[in-house]
Chain A
């Protein structure tokens, strides 16, 4: 969690993304408590005001919920987490496709290339 942030994109959204990924990887489980705003700030070297904004943002997306006087928790609503999982996948793929298009690849090429890549990687992993 100590890797640095890109200086030219909003820190609050980079931090939100990090937390989302932690949830996807299972490092943060549904119902887990997030560190307090200040603790999180210290962990990642970020202004507590910015952390506050990240938590607000995540709360707006219902990924976390704050309980009065107790802190902020990862939601236990599995369908919201599934939605997030789907959404992030879509976003990542769309970025990939856009940059492939930029370089002039056609849809068929991308598809075939991806299949071949994954098949090869699977072979590597089996060894």
Chain B
């Protein structure tokens, strides 16, 4: 579904990603872990076509990626900027009009599950509720690929829990692949199928999570720590 071949992303004086090869298939929830600035967000933005590789090719379902891959990719940004003049319902309706695969009924279910007031003004929404709204907007699309950049970051434990439960409830694992970047590994490690560790712009490990526990008796945090040490 998602394919990165020899992908390098360079900025003026800094290499954000170097020679990344990655193939991700559907039916999985994949965690992208690593330190700040290791290249997690960059990877997601590249797949979403919001930035462009300096070298290499990226395809989604065989199609070369640019901005308009948005028709097949639902991207949740780590920023939560929305149009402040809309309320929650208007924001949802706006998304429904922009994306033909947006399922309004599902959006309403997720919104109710997340306890989000449809009449709340976006400007007055708390950080936690903005985090919840992002989940509603991202998961309500019937889209093959879902990318989530730090969906739990900066939120309190109750919100994190409702988001994790929302993920399990509303992701359609038969047809979708979900890639999540996160610092909060503990929170989501029971819902990950695969984990990819990134360090300094390179992938230093890619593993099935249950396999890791069976073969190496390791949880994700321990595994990541050992990968980081090995690559030193």
On whether the beta carbons of B213 and A11 are closer than 8 Å, the reply is yes
| Residue A5 at the chain B interface, CB threshold 8 Å | yes
Contact string against A for B residues 175-218, beta-carbon threshold 8 Å, 1 for contact and 0 otherwise:
00000000000100111110000000000000000100110011
Whether A47 and B168, one on each chain, are in contact in the complex, defined by CB atoms closer than 8 angstroms, is: yes
Size band of the A side of the interface? 10 to 19
Looking at A9, A45, A53, the one whose CB has the most chain B CB atoms below 10 A away is: A45
Instruction: Say yes or no: is B1 at the interface (Cβ < 8 Å to chain A).
Output: no
**Which residues of A are found within 8 Å of B29, using beta-carbon distances?**
47, 49
B156 within 8 A of A: no
Bound CA–CA A114/B15 (angstroms) = 64
Query: Complex Cα distance A11/B217, Å?
Result: 11
Q: For the complex, is A88 an interface residue (Cβ under 8 Å from B)?
A: no
Of the stretches B32-40, B117-125, B219-227, the one at the interface is B219-227
Known: A48-B168, A49-B28. A8 touches B218 (CB 8 A): yes
Give the interface size bracket for B toward A.
20 to 34
Say yes or no: A50-B210 contact (C-beta < 8 A), given A7-B189, A38-B169, A45-B164: yes
Are B193 and A49 in contact, with the CB atoms below 8 A? yes
A26 interfacial contact with B, CB 8 Å: no
Which A5-40 residues have C-beta < 8 A from chain B?
A: 5-12, 38
B122-135 interface bits toward A, Cβ cutoff 8 Å, 1 = contact, 0 = none: 00000000000000
Q: Quick one: which of B161, B190, B217, B220 has the most chain A CB within 10 A?
A: B190
The answer for the CA separation of A31 and B218 in the assembled complex, in Å, is 36
**Interchain CA distance A11-B209 in the complex, whole Å:** 9
Q: Is the CB of B219 within 8 A of A45?
A: no
Q: Is the CB of B218 within 8 A of A47?
A: no
Task: Name B213's contact: one of A8, A41, A45, A49 (CB within 8 Å).
Answer: A8
- For A49, what are the chain B residues with a Cβ–Cβ distance below 8 Å? 27-29, 173, 193
Closest to B161 in A: A45
Tell whether B10 is near chain A: CB-to-CB under 8 Å: no
* Residue of A whose beta carbon sits closest to that of B28: A49
Chain A minimum-CB-distance residue to B223: A8
Check B165 against A45 for contact (C-beta < 8 Å): yes
Contact assessment for B191 and A47 in the assembled complex, using a CB-CB cutoff below 8 Å: yes
Beta-carbon nearest neighbor of B213 in chain A:
A10
B215 CB to closest chain A CB, in angstroms?
A: 10
8 Å CB contact of A42 from B165, B186, B214, B217: B165
Chain B residues with Cβ below 8 Å from A97 are none
Residue of A nearest to B186 (CB): A7
A9-B165 CB under 8 A given contacts A47-B191, A47-B192, A48-B173 = no
Q: Is the CB of B190 within 8 A of A45?
A: yes
Across-interface contacts of B165 in A (CB, < 8 A): 42, 45
Partner of A9 from B164, B213, B221 at Cβ < 8 Å: B213
In residues 144-167 of chain B, which contact A (Cβ within 8 Å)? 161, 164-165
Interface residues in B9-37 (C-beta closer than 8 Å to A)? 27-29
In contact, A12 and B191 (Cβ under 8 angstroms):
no
CB-defined contacts of A7 to chain B, threshold 8 Å: 186, 189, 213, 219-222
Q: Does B222 lie within 8 Å of A8, measured CB to CB? A: yes
Contacts of B192 in A (CB 8 A): 47
A-B interface, 9 closest residue pairs, ranked by CB to CB distance from nearest: A7-B219, A8-B219, A10-B213, A47-B191, A41-B168, A46-B190, A10-B210, A10-B214, A42-B168
